[in-house]
Structure 1
Amino acid sequence: MTCGAGMDASIFRNVKTLGHQLRQARKAKGWSQGDLARQAGTDPRQISRIETAAHEPKLSLLLAVVAALELDLGLVPRRGASPQAARPRPEDIF
């Protein structure tokens, strides 16, 4: 995820880390979960579930949340990745 004003790009390999970063971005804007939910067109409970990794959202919801926070979600090659490492292992994802 490429972050705006003063935030560095972050690499995410699990939903807990992603949720934590989204919470930080929301709080940096001074928004409540309800504020973000309204901007993303969802329910505050969904935002809570994403932030606490209690729920793995659909990609469309994740993209709406990222867009509401004025962030970009990017795909970048792993450093030093070999063709054999191109297939993620379950432990790299979860």
Structure 2
Amino acid sequence: MDVTVFRDVKALSQQLRHARKAKGWSQGDLAQRAGTDPRQISRIETAAHEPKLSLLLAVLAALELDLGLVPRRGASSQTARPRPEDIF
């Protein structure tokens, strides 16, 4: 299984756009499947908007993708402290 690690919103946004286009869907198609407005999808894909976690999860589910938490390579559980840029 391939795992993609994202460290910034723009990279995640680009990957979501790529996944949508790979399915041949418009932003409206994805919005309908995720239960949101096409403008929200546009904002997410351009990184102009950071969605609520619930919306992000709905978009991922519509795209048949999973959000996973994986241990950071080389991080110690005693010394690892997340940085703001590590959240997305």
TM-score (norm 1): 0.85
| Alpha-carbon offset, residue 13 of structure 1 | 1.3
AA aligned to 2:79 is Q
Q: Alpha-carbon deviations, 1:49-88, whole Å to 9, x = none?
A: 1111100100000000000001111000101112322x21
Give unmatched runs, 5+ long, in structure 2. Answer: none
CA distance in 2, matches of 1:22, 1:89: 23
Distance 2:63 2:86 in 1: 26
Please give the alpha-carbon distance, in whole angstroms, between the structure 1 residues aligned to 2:70 and 2:41.
25
How many percent identity over aligned positions? 84
Q: Which amino acid aligns with 1:22?
A: L
SS at match of 1:20: helix
Residues in 2 aligned to 1:52 and 1:42: alpha-carbon distance in whole angstroms = 16
The answer to whether residue 13 in structure 2 is matched with residue 19 in structure 1 is yes
Q: Give the one of 42, 45, 49 matched to 1:55.
A: 49
Which segments of structure 1 move beyond 6 Å, counting only runs of 4 or more?
Answer: none
TM-score normalised to structure 2 length: 0.91
Mapped to 1, the partners of 2:6 and 2:85 lie a distance apart of 13
